[in-house]
Amino acid sequence: MDISRLFGKKKKPFRAFCTITHEPLESGLGYLLTTAQIISSKKYWDWVMTEPETLSYTISHFNNQPAGTQMRHLIFEKYAAVAKPWIISDSIINYFEVNKTEARNGAKKWWESQGSYTPEASGPAAQQLDGGKFNSYKEYAVLEAGRNKVAT
């Protein structure tokens, strides 16, 4: 009998949770997106800026209170700076206009590598997008996102 099997540490199975919703993902499932793909979605920003944790900043922003606008700016910067790819669930994929087949294939590679696979265009969004596009996404996220959900 191999004694190392008796006392050897069992390797825990690789598990993952949606980067956005934190729901558990079944092995091999989900979609892999880059930060540039994430921050380019207006629908996503409308959702983020009206979540319970951020709603007060959005209300403040639309009531012309600079502190609210500043917090929205910091929220955008935090998300835009993420270097790793985002593994996301079926429940949130429709917030993004991406090639779902490519994103699903990326997720499969990510699972096979136990989370170490990174698509070529990964990295902070400012490094992957030209300045004009990046700034237009930032402008929407900071200045406009959630306007239609907040009565001012």
Is 133 a member of any domain? yes
Residue 10 lies in a domain: no
Instruction: Note if the pTM is more than 0.85.
Output: yes
Pseudo-torsion of CA 124, 129, 73, 99, nearest 10°?
-80
Minimal CA–CA distance to 95: which of 15, 25, 33?
Answer: 33
With respect to residue 1, please indicate whether it lies within any of the assigned structural domains.
Answer: no
Q: Is position 3 within any domain?
A: no
The alpha carbon of 108 is separated from its chain's Cα centroid by a whole number of angstroms, namely 18
User: Computed from CA positions of residues 99, 101, 104, 109, in that sequence, does the dihedral angle turn out positive or negative?
Assistant: negative
Domain coverage including residue 80: 16-149
Q: pLDDT digit string (tens) for 60-100? A: 999 999 999 999 999 999 999 999 999 999 999 999 999 99
Overall number of domains in the chain: 1
Nearest-CA neighbor of 103 among 42, 43, 34, 41? 34
**pLDDT tens-place string over residues 24-44:** 999 999 999 999 999 999 999
